[in-house]
Amino acid sequence: MATDDLATALVEAVATAPGAGVARVDRAGVVLAEAAWGLADRRLAVPMTASHRLAMASGSKGFTALAVMSLVVEGRLALETTARSLLGADLPLVDHGVTIADLLAHRSGVGEYLDDDADPGEYVLSIPVHRLVSPEEYLPMLDGHPQLFRPGTRFAYSNAGFILLAILAQRAADRPFHDLVRERVIEPGGLADTAYLRSDDLPADAALGYVEIDGQWRSNVLHLPVVGGGDGGAYTSLADLGRFWRALQAGRIVPTEAVARMTAPTSEDEGGWHYGLGFWLRPGDGVVALVGEDAGVSFRSTHVVADDLVASVIGTTADAAWPVTRALDTALGIRRG
């Protein structure tokens, strides 16, 4: 598709998109089309811009996976390392056979702490959100949930599994999880705008997320952990997403052999997408993606590796990004199912 046609398709998509958000398509770092819509802050009527930072929801599971894989590359962990070897007596209902590989591939079967099908406006966390900073502070929420199936036998998307990965990583490295991601993913990736920001102390360039409750739009600050964790919640920018994918493919975050392992399919979900170790995939199309949705967040960033084409859309409500991602998929010839 010609650049003018792509830009037109994007403008038309954001004109009717709900909420607020940002979108960009670039090839080899050259921006082909870019747009922003809605308000970054409803209270102060701040217009959204393409340079704002927005939350990634589960999109930052890829960061968790890369931090863990960097420890595997160093030999501090192995894909065959069991969770139990680092958990000790914690979380006794986690099957003793659950491995790092099972957790990365969503094939662990660990009991889930979070209802992914809950309405975005519900208050789903059982611990006050201001207490959820370190992954260790999630332990009471993870405890008491029975194993769902035998490890390695099937795919079931798991937020609890990625919180568990964050706990295991910081125990193996004797280093706080957020420091691990900063040192092993954000800094080597050259991600100048990406960080685990506190939702109760956002900088001026960070957009707020919103949920609709009783017909009123409210900030999502009471619906999510005050700081994102192993299962999601980092903030990023459109520019950083382009930097991220290129740093990943160049082996600047983990070696290219590890990238190949992480982007090899381990499972296929009902929508025709496959999953590797921390990444969604369409192997036949050479597409790798990060995806997230939460209270006040919708996110997808896609890398068409052979063309070095990155398409990213981030919204500040749970549905804002999806009409725009559909329009971009059509314009770029990315299959959806």
> Are residues 138 and 224 in contact, defined by beta-carbon separation less than 8 angstroms?
no
What is the full DSSP assignment across 269-333? -TTS-EE-SS-EEEGGGTEEEEEEEETTEEEEEEEETTTTEEEEEEESSTTSSHHHHHHHHHHHT
Q: Is the pTM of this model over 0.85?
A: yes
- Judged on CB neighbours under 10 Å (0-12, 13-18, 19+), 117 is exposed
pLDDT of residue 117: 75
Q: What are phi and psi of 261, to 5 degrees?
A: -65, -40
**What percent of the chain lies above the pLDDT cut of 70?**
99
17-66 confidence digits (pLDDT tens): 999 999 999 999 999 999 999 999 999 999 999 999 999 999 999 999 99
> Are residues 210 and 42 in contact, defined by beta-carbon separation less than 8 angstroms?
yes
User: Domains, the chain, ranges and CATH?
Assistant: 3-332 (3.40.710.10)
156-168 confidence digits (pLDDT tens): 999 999 999 999 9
> Are residues 240 and 231 in contact, defined by beta-carbon separation less than 8 angstroms?
no
pLDDT of residue 337: 52
User: Which residues, listed in sequence order, are joined to residue 54 by a DSSP beta bridge?
Assistant: 236
Q: Which of 81-90, 96-105, 116-125, 246-255 has the lowest mean pLDDT?
A: 116-125
Q: What are the residues whose beta carbons fall under 8 Å from the beta carbon of 212, sequence distance 6 or more?
A: 120, 121, 218, 317
Return the closest-CA partner of residue 206 out of 71, 51, 64. Answer: 51
Encoded tokens for 98: 């659950």
